[in-house]
A and B are shown apart, each in its own frame.
Chain A
Amino acid sequence: MADPKPAWRAGIRLRPAQEEILRYQGGRMAILAVPGSGKTFTLSLLAADLLQRDLLRPHQEILIVTFARSAVDNFNVRIAGFLKNAGRIAGMGYRVRTLHSLANDIIRVRPEAVGLPEDFAIIDEYESDQLKGEVADAWLRAHPDFFDQWLKEDASEKETADWKTKGARRVVNEAVVAAVGWAKDHELNPDQLEERMRPSGYLLTEMAADLYRDYQRALEYRGAVDFSDLIRLALRALRNDPTLVERYQDLFPYILEDEAQDSTNLQEQILSLIAGKDGNWVRVGDPNQAIYASFTMSSPEYLRRFSSAAGVTVRTLPESGRSQQAVIDLANHLITFSLSRDDHLNGTLSLPLILPTAAGDPQPNPPADPTHIRMALTGRDPDSELNVLVNSIESALKHAKGAKITYAVLVSSNLKAENVRAELEKRNIPVVDALLDTSTASRSMVKAVSTFLNWLALPLATGHVTQLFNEWSTRQPDLHARAEAVTGAKNLLGRLTQVEDFLAPLPGHEWPAQVEPDCGEVLERFRTLLSSWQELALLPASQAVLTFVQDVFSSDPAQLALGYKVSKFLRRLETEHPEYSLRDLSEEVKANKRQKGSLSAISLSDTGFDPSLYPGKVVICTQHKAKGLEWDRVYIPAANNYDFPSAAPYDTFFAEGYQVRGRLNIVAEMLAQLDLLLSRDPYAGYVEGEATQEARQKVSQDRLRLFYVSITRAKRDLVISWNTGKNRNLVKSVYFQHLLELEDSFHAV
């Protein structure tokens, strides 16, 4: 007999697989879920259910760990909703964290225990990449001929020149990322790495050690840590102090881990310490969506191993109401393709297959219609492929006739995204770029802050007042509908000659003397604010800016966070250069942005992105950033053997230089040599080229999963095309080719 359903869940209809999961009583459990199967929903419900069962003591919390910051809000909102249903106080009894923020929680209590200053800064991935780029450039300047020995013997003059300039630069840029990641995953500091390396004589490991040391020095100079440090140091703090582990074990009697397919060695170690030997740990994930394995330390193998370990209950969430049947068929076809292979692709995608939801499910699949799946049989050159894609979008938008349809173009890199954006903008098609790294958020914040500092430095310049008015008025939602009044006010301000008559008028000298009431009201609001900002001139600029940001960007967490970052940047300048004037500080802020310094980073994708908010607009993003999202109509261009290689002999890989002997992947070779340093196998030896081949296989596995992820973003329409590359030598991806076998599931174009 089924358990009676608790009253608070009365209105929530669950699938049998979900009901099964809610019967969880404790211990280890693995949940293997397919795309769109409601992982977040089920996990949130499980959290609420555990809380409702009164299993926790008042100070205890359920820890929910997820991969992306964007998912944190999602969990919070859902759990709060369930708890409200149950008549409980939201926000209490659980904690949603990314692994980074959990690590930060652990370290923040006593940063000095892991050798960090109290106000240690955390640089995000973007900033860390910038820093790595600088380190790489500096290293290459000091070792200009280092890579000559890898140049192929018959290299032409042009190839040699290309290699020495672009090729070597690319390699060293990738090498620094890989070396730093590797060393941190192996918990080695620069001294320890050097120690290990001493007898080896491998040239590439020497480069790795140099790059790692330089990068860590640059971090130390900034009093900062990167994301990998956070995790490494949190683990170390836990290992150093058993009482810390005990406290966390007591605090978090249940751990629910989302996106466990992207887990890393260190993540697994931290969570396993907190869960304790027999603790309650639920890991949810989809190994088929592990798309970071070839370039980070994450691997779906952790989840796979966990789910096959003794004592672990395994559950599946195989039903998904997201996509129409034809999309599901394509995705499942990729799984069977992988399972049928007898090479490295075997098992890259694994069961379960995606099942549509049963009749009467609250999330029914969109109606099946293979005509909504379009696949290009022939390849074009990249420009004409783009042209056809944009034509298709234009036509789809035209035919949508006001229906709220969402669109996305999923590409392999930010650079390609920029090309698509440019083409769409050329045709006046509305674009959403919030998921791109080059988003406009940080640009606009830096501009606003430097405008404000300029005004503080020279408040009498009418230009500064009008610029500040622009910054303020564009961010007042209620003024958007009063464009006329705003323009009127702006025009009037442009004619202001004596700013003090506006800011602090003497009796009888009020400015403007006469004004339309609507426009006057806008001006008066601005004047009140500006008057209050006068006193900010007495504060240090870093504090003044914080107030300005709070006044202007009052309810945008991403902007407030960025404003805080600018304020911290200014505080550092004030300490280091007490002689700086306000104008100097304003210049520094702008220069930092221009030079892509620490202020240029922060993407709105960090704070959650909801595609349904942008119907009728085209979201452009990378395939990686698309994970977890869904659109009615999805475009996947460039389904060729460059974007989606299968490690066939004729495939080309970005990480391999065509000028290099044996087309070696130098970074993969470096990592292989580093692994050897740690190997205890006395017979292990370095064979040049083996690592390159392994890297090809790893990349192709990632790309197969990425293709699967991209396809499963589509709810109803899917358009896949491919191009032959600028040298006209690319062919259809094997994966794409395989989908074309399913003749009944698409419409060929």
Chain B
Amino acid sequence: MTAQNPIVVQPLRTSPGHKTWLEGPAGTGKTTTAARTLVSLTAQGVPAGQILVLLPQRTLARPYQEAVRALPAGPQPTILTSGGLARRMVDLFWPLVAEAAGFAQPGLPPTFLTLETAQYYMAAVAGPLIDQEMLFHSVALERTRLYSQVLDNLNKAALAGFSSETIGQRLSDAWAGESSHKYVYADAQRCASLFRAHCLAHNLLDYSLQVEVFRDFLWPLPELRNWLNARTAYLIADNLEEDSPFSHRLIADWLPALHGALLIYDREAGYRSFLSADPSGAYGLRSLCDTQLEFTTSHVTAPELETFGRTVARVLGQDQRLDRQAAGLPPQVVIHQDARFYPEMMDGAVSAVTHLVQAGTPPGQIAILSPFLSDSLRFGLTTRLDQAGIPWRSHRPSRPFLAEPAAGALLTLATLATPALKRPVNSDALTRAFMQAISGLDFSRACLLASMCRPPKAQDGELLPWEMIQESFRTRITYPVGEKYEILRRWLAEVAGGEVLELDFLLSRLFGELLSQPGFGFHTHFDRGSVTAALVESAAKFRQALPELEHDPLQLTRLYFDMLEKGLITAQYLSNWQEEDSDSVILSPAFTFLLANRPVDALVLVDVASDAWFRRLYQPLTHPYVLSANWQPGRLWTDADEDANNRSTLSRLVLGLLRRCREEAHFLWSERGEDGLEQRGMLLRALYQVQLLEGGQHG
């Protein structure tokens, strides 16, 4: 059954026991419909507290959170990921399963690990083995990435549903490269098994163990099923194509017991395949529903953009039937092809944005996207946007905290507030901290202040009171700055004089009492606030994962700083940009933009000639496809697989982006990339081919 647009303004009608399947491309109103259905369900008498919304990741929750806000007070629907559900259930039913699941201390409570704390334990367990036996000796990879890939293997095995003991064999069997590389997989297996054994011995549950314990030991228990069924009447599962086989099996199993369900599937998506997303598995749920609906009309994309996206996808798919009637470039697509060098491309991008704004597009409806957003590219673009007087904001996925200037400033100040750490602070770091902490302080005066506020050559210790700084320098630094400096200094001195605080608590206070106040640098900077929140959350979770150090905040902080320096801790908690509604141009990696699912009027894609649009991340110890549910163990992963995969990734990406674009898409690149070398990646070549179709030069 095909529904043409009747539902966007209306919720789905539901009847008891009815399961509905809803599919369609992005922009056809599926999520809007689901959110309204949620509201209407409660109006029909379904208790809000008995509605469960299941999503593949937290950033997609926003439309549902907004819908929930409209509901009357009382129990609210639960919005969760399947991993989150597993964790809650394991926590709740721990005594029932701890022993059966093989935990050595079933009488003691479990400790749930985050990615960071799992890395911490992985480093502790596998690190010495790697050193002693020279595991992975031919792999040039930072230790942190090595750990995260071993953990990732465990997660993939858990989500796909195969034994974690077969990871190494699977990878090895699929390897078509140098046979001398195969030992790496055996090493990865050893680390994974060792880590698993350690977790079982110490009641530690990383993500994979949370999933496995839930799936293998809890889910079969009637007690749990009864408990869940009593509390869940209706299930809304959105973006199923981005979810894992674990979620799909859970839903398939659960569906008969539910009063009603709405399952939503985005066609031609599945961007999270490297995170175990399984679009084809998700599609298997369709036949389990009573009604199958399909939305086809986009409420976002101009039809010409959709057609263009499809043509690019067909070119990428090497569709032999392409002919000149396949349509070339519509007027909504602008290809800028005159830049030779990278800076010219940045000029071109900002000039395109300027024209858009001048023609009436609100800045908040423009997104500049690149495959990666390096500091340098971000700086180049934002400087140009500033010069053009166009407001902007940027969003980047998780990166090491140390790469976030705001985190650097917070940690420098936290170090000054905790002299017992005995960590030196160099004047470069101090300059950067002052620049960010004190509103309106420029670089040169921040330097001057940093060089004058401590006794010569002192790297730690107290900051000098403002009055003790030489008069002539105070004049140069300026008194308004001095006033804020003095407030900051006193605050730090006061904290330093007291007992050592837990780092998350210290950072919260630093932000809340000082940096977020008017006159201080985090007051108006949304980005810095997000980084603070992420850092606080990270430090808190770290503390919670090490209960044995609960009473030793100094040691905890030391450990946390060590982990930061080793890059083991990343700002992965950066909050969703949708929380910010300012009217400013968005700068983001394309992938982050896609997953945020927020359409704009105009897209400006830069660095189109780069290979990074389709090339998967370098992961020598893991493999997203070989460790997926659909992989047939024993097959070789060849270049043909790689190429087909690259093409389909890129097709989906381009389609996904264009479906989140209402009016205009601009494509920009430079002949020479950021590294000065010639570049002509697959996306660029596809665009050329589409141009050729238009020119009618090829049949």
For A59, the chain B residues whose CB sits under 8 A away are 315, 318, 685, 689
- Tell me the nearest residue of chain B to A191, going by C-beta: B180
Asked if A457 lies at the interface with its beta carbon under 8 angstroms from chain B, I say yes
Chain A count of residues within 8 A CB distance of the other chain: 74
Contacting residues, chain B, for A246 (C-beta < 8 A): 640
For A140, the chain B residues whose CB sits under 8 A away are none
For residue B678, which residues in chain A have a CB less than 8 angstroms away from its CB?
72
Give B648-699 interface residues, CB cut-off 8 Å to A. Answer: 672, 674-678, 680, 685, 688-689, 691-693, 695, 697-699
Q: A110-B642, A538-B436, A539-B375 are in contact. Are A546 and B674 (CB under 8 A)?
A: yes
B442 on the A face (CB < 8 A)? yes
Residue A241 lies at the interface, judged by CB distance under 8 Å to chain B: yes
| Chain B proximity of A650: nearest CB distance (Å) | 49
Interface string of A71-98 (1 = CB under 8 A from B): 0100000000000000011011001000
> Is B254 part of the contact surface with A, judged by Cβ < 8 Å?
no
B436 CB contacts on chain A under 8 angstroms: 538
Contact stretch, chosen from B40-48, B67-75, B99-107, B426-434:
B426-434
Residue of B nearest to A233 (CB): B178
Whether a CB of chain A sits under 8 angstroms from the CB of B463 is: no
Pick from B380, B444, B675, B692: contact of A89, CB below 8 A: B692
Does A89 lie within 8 Å of B691, measured CB to CB? yes
Of the stretches B298-306, B339-347, B550-558, the one at the interface is: B339-347
| A564 located at the interface, meaning its Cβ lies under 8 Å from any Cβ of chain B in the complex | yes
| Other-chain residue from B140, B443, B567, B697 in contact with A223 (beta carbon distance below 8 A) | B140
In the assembled complex, how far is the CB of residue B687 from the closest CB belonging to chain A, in whole angstroms? 10
B638 partner residues in chain A, CB cutoff 8 A: 241-244
When each residue 314-356 of chain B gets 1 if its CB lies under 8 Å from chain A and 0 otherwise, what string results? 0100101010000000000000000011111000000000000
In the complex, which residues of chain A have a beta carbon less than 8 angstroms from the beta carbon of B698? 54, 57-58
Verify B376–A118 contact, CB threshold 8 A.
no
B448 with A95: CB separation less than 8 A: no
Residues from chain B with a CB closer than 8 A to the CB of A223 are 140
Q: Check if B280 is an interface residue, CB within 8 A of chain A.
A: no
Contact B405 A91 (CB under 8 A): no
Asked whether any CB of chain A lies closer than 8 Å to the CB of B568, the reply is: no
B230 beta carbon closer than 8 Å to chain A:
no
In Å, the complex CA distance between A498 and B442 comes to 14
- CB within 8 Å for A504 and B444 given contacts A59-B318, A113-B177, A546-B376: yes
- Of all chain A residues, the one with the shortest Cβ separation from B346 is A550
The reply to whether B432 and A537 form a contact with Cβ atoms under 8 Å apart is: yes
Across-interface contacts of A557 in B (CB, < 8 A): 341, 672, 676
Interface-central residue, A108, A112, A503, A536, by most chain B CB under 10 Å = A112
Residues of B within 8 A of A112 (CB): 177, 181, 618-620
B194 within 8 A of A: no
B388 at the interface (CB under 8 A from A): no
Chain A, range 512-562, C-beta contacts under 8 Å to B: 532, 534-540, 543-544, 546-547, 550-551, 554-555, 557-562
Cβ-neighbour of B444 out of A54, A88, A242, A459 (below 8 A): A459
Determine whether A508 belongs to the interface, using a CB cutoff of 8 Å to chain B. no
Residues of B within 8 A of A240 (CB): 176-178
The answer to whether B639 and A241 have CB atoms under 8 Å apart is yes
Please encode chain A, from 212 to 236, with 1 for each CB lying within 8 Å of some chain B CB and 0 for all others.
0000000010010000000000001
A138 CB–B CB distance under 8 Å: no
Contact, CB under 8 Å: A555 / B444: no
A174-182, A340-348, A412-420, A574-582: which lies at the B interface? A574-582
B341:A537 contact, CB within 8 angstroms: no
Minimum distance in angstroms from B150 CB to a CB of chain A: 16
Q: Which residues of B contact A500 (CB under 8 A)?
A: 442, 444-445, 448, 476
Please tell me if the beta carbons of A575 and B177 are within 8 angstroms of each other in the complex. Answer: no
Mark out the residues of chain A between 571 and 616 whose CB falls within 8 Å of any chain B CB in the assembled complex: 575, 578-579, 581-582
B140 touches A504 (CB 8 A): no
A115 and B180 in contact (CB under 8 A), knowing A534-B442, A564-B676, A582-B428? yes
Contact residues, B498-522 vs A (CB, 8 A)? none
Asked if residues B642 and A109 are in contact (CB atoms below 8 Å), the reply is yes
Most chain A CB neighbours (cut-off 10 Å) among B140, B340, B403: B140
Contact check, B639 vs A247: say whether CB atoms are below 8 A apart. yes
**B680 adjacent to A95 (CB under 8 Å):** yes
Q: A111, A546, A563, A567: which has the most chain B beta carbons within 10 Å?
A: A546
Kindly state whether residue B483 has any CB partner on chain A within 8 Å: no
Residue of A nearest to B640 (CB): A243
Q: Check: A494 CB closer than 8 A to any chain B CB.
A: no
Q: Which chain A positions have C-beta within 8 A of B427?
A: 581
Nearest residue (CB) in A for B347 is A554
Q: Is A506 an interface residue (CB 8 A)?
A: yes
Of all chain B residues, the one with the shortest Cβ separation from A568 is B675
A-chain residues with CB within 8 Å of residue B677 when the two chains form the complex: 561
Please give, as numbers and ranges, the residues of chain A lying within 8 Å of B431 by CB-CB distance.
Answer: 537
Asked if residues B342 and A550 are in contact (CB atoms below 8 Å), the reply is yes
- Cα separation A665 to B677 with both chains bound (whole Å): 41
Residue ID in chain B nearest A504 by CB atoms: B442
Complex interface residues of chain B between 240 and 282 (CB less than 8 A to chain A): none
User: Chain A residues near B375 (CB, 8 Å)?
Assistant: 539-540, 543-544
**A161 at the B interface (CB under 8 A):** no
Among B447, B639, B642, the residue within 8 A (CB) of A460 is B447
- Say yes or no for B565: interface residue by CB 8 A criterion: yes
A538 and B318 CA atoms in complex are apart in Å by: 45
Residues of chain B with a CB closer than 8 A to A555's CB: 340-341, 344
Min C-beta distance of B680 to chain A, whole Å: 7
* CA gap between A246 and B642 in the complex, in Å: 13
Q: Cβ of B383 < 8 Å from any Cβ of A? A: yes
In angstroms, how far is the closest chain B Cβ from the Cβ of A217? 11
Asked if A458 CB lies within 8 Å of chain B CBs, one says yes
Contacts of A377 in B (CB 8 A): none
The smallest beta-carbon distance between A613 and chain B, in angstroms, is 18
Closest to A506 in B: B478
Count chain A CB atoms within 10 A of each CB in B140, B180, B443 and give the residue with the most: B443
Is the pair A108, B611 in contact by a Cβ cutoff of 8 Å? yes
**B402 at interface by CB-CB < 8 Å:** yes
CB-CB under 8 A from A109, the residues of chain B are 615, 639, 642-643, 646
Question: Within the assembled complex, what's the spacing in Å between the Cα atoms of A500 and B639?
Answer: 57
Whether the pair B141, A117 counts as a contact (CB closer than 8 A) is: yes
CA distance A532 to B376 in the complex (A): 13
Q: Are B181 and A58 in contact (CB under 8 A)?
A: no
Q: Does B374 contact A (CB under 8 A)?
A: yes
A390 within 8 A of B: no
Tell whether, in the assembled complex, residue B379 and residue A543 are in contact, meaning their CB atoms are under 8 Å apart: yes
CA–CA, A242 to B176, complex, Å? Answer: 10
Alpha-carbon distance A240/B436, docked complex (angstroms): 53
Q: CA of A118 to CA of B615 in the docked complex: distance in angstroms?
A: 10
Task: Knowing A241-B176, A543-B374, A554-B343, say if A575 contacts B443 (CB, 8 Å).
Answer: no
Beyond A115-B177, A247-B643, A532-B383, 16 additional pairs, beta carbon < 8 A? A58-B322, A58-B692, A59-B689, A89-B688, A108-B615, A109-B642, A113-B176, A241-B177, A247-B639, A498-B476, A538-B408, A538-B436, A543-B375, A560-B342, A561-B676, A581-B428
Residues of A at the B interface (CB closer than 8 Å) are 54, 57-59, 72, 88-89, 91-92, 95, 108-120, 220, 223, 236-237, 240-244, 246-247, 457-460, 498-500, 503-504, 506, 532, 534-540, 543-544, 546-547, 550-551, 554-555, 557-564, 567, 575, 578-579, 581-582
Point out residues on B near A: beta carbons under 8 Å.
138-142, 176-178, 180-181, 315, 318, 320, 322, 340-344, 374-376, 379-380, 383, 402-403, 405, 408, 426-428, 431-432, 435-436, 442-445, 447-448, 451, 476, 478, 565, 567, 611, 615, 617-620, 638-643, 646, 672, 674-678, 680, 685, 688-689, 691-693, 695, 697-699
A sample of 22 cross-chain residue pairs with beta-carbon separation below 8 angstroms, ordered by A number, consists of A91-B680, A109-B646, A110-B639, A114-B177, A460-B448, A500-B476, A503-B442, A503-B443, A504-B443, A534-B442, A535-B379, A535-B383, A536-B379, A537-B431, A538-B432, A554-B341, A554-B343, A555-B340, A557-B341, A560-B672, A564-B674, A575-B567
Q: List the 10 shortest-distance A-B pairs measured between CB atoms, nearest first.
A: A118-B618, A561-B676, A560-B676, A113-B177, A243-B640, A244-B639, A543-B375, A534-B443, A504-B442, A546-B376
